[in-house]
């Protein structure tokens, strides 16, 4: 999961699978990205990037989804 400015998104659009404006990302959508395998980013860092802080509960839920997807 990465946060790109508009010019960077345009320069790398062929490599980007999902493009969601940050303002539209809520907890449910964030977890869906892990649930569907669209990201394997470190949940701690990703929550900081997306929400401005690492929410321990959200990090834990994302970590569980990552662990489950590796089985």
pLDDT in tens, the chain (71 residues): 677 788 888 898 888 888 888 889 999 999 999 999 889 999 999 999 999 999 999 999 999 999 988 65
What is the span of the domain harbouring residue 21? 6-69
Is residue 1 domain-resident? no
What is the pLDDT at residue 14?
Answer: 87
Is residue 51 domain-resident? yes
Look at the chain and report how many structural domains it folds into. Answer: 1
What is the pLDDT at residue 63?
Answer: 96
What is the pLDDT at residue 71?
Answer: 56
d(CA 62, CA 8): 26
Instruction: List CB contacts of 34: < 8 A, sequence separation 6 or more.
Output: 40, 43, 62, 65, 66, 69
What is the pLDDT at residue 29?
Answer: 95
d(CA 38, CA 16): 10
């Amino acid at each position: 999961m990465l946060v790109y400015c508009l010019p960077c998104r345009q320069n790398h659009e062929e490599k980007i699978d999902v493009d969601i404006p940050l303002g539209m990302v809520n907890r449910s959508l964030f977890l869906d990205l892990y649930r569907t395998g669209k990201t394997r980013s470190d949940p701690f860092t990703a929550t900081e990037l997306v929400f401005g802080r690492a929410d321990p509960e959200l990090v834990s839920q994302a970590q569980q989804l990552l662990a489950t997807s590796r089985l």
